[in-house]
Amino acid sequence: MTVQPAGLTVKGAWSALFTGPGQWGSAIAFPIVLAGPPTSITFSTQTSNNISAGPTAGNLTVWGCDAFVNSTTAGNGWWIGLYTTNGNCLREVDTSNGKARHHCDICDTLGEPLPISELITCIMVGKQPTYVVTCGVCGARECLNAQLTTADEADPNPQRAANARAIRAALRFLGKGIT
């Protein structure tokens, strides 16, 4: 079996089509098995209609993830776009002043230091919380993997390890049960 090495991104297309108000989702199956669960997945929109929130992703594994959008009460609509795994993510997470910066891999913008509580938005997917950082420049949405462990922080791939440390530190700062 061919496995995508840690730190290399996987890209693909995803779409959600819906016919009424509510939360709509499906599985994303990665085109290759990853060496480890991605530290995050970033969505960039190609076209969308009647979206009130999302996309957001949960249950990130080596095989894929769940992805969801929330529709407006107007009903019929869609989200069509691209996903990219293993974004460059959070930078300079400083839990002493509660700030961090976000680097967007889609438009390569490093944002200014912002309060972590403003940077990261929690969106419920059913009863499962998901954590999203939205790029202020291009609107790409980076969905953080909230299931990373201390083993991910010690990953041999330095970028993956740095991403895991930054995400876990930020979520722990927000009191999200990261141990």
- 114 part of the interface to Zn ion, by CB under 5 A: no
Three-state DSSP class for residue 72: coil
Instruction: Give the shortest CB-105-to-Zn ion separation in angstroms.
Output: 8
Per CB under 5 A, contacts with Zn ion among 140-159 are 140
DSSP 2-55: -EEPTT---EEEEEEEESSSEEEEEEEEPSSEESS--SEEEEEEEEEESEEEEE
List 16, 67, 69, 106, residue binding Zn ion (CB under 5 A) = 106
- 13 part of the interface to Zn ion, by CB under 5 A: no
Q: How many helices (H) and strands (E) does the chain have?
A: 3, 15
- 138 part of the interface to Zn ion, by CB under 5 A: yes
List 65, 116, 132, 135, residue binding Zn ion (CB under 5 A) = 135
Site for Zn ion, rule CB under 5 A? 104, 106-107, 135, 137-138, 140
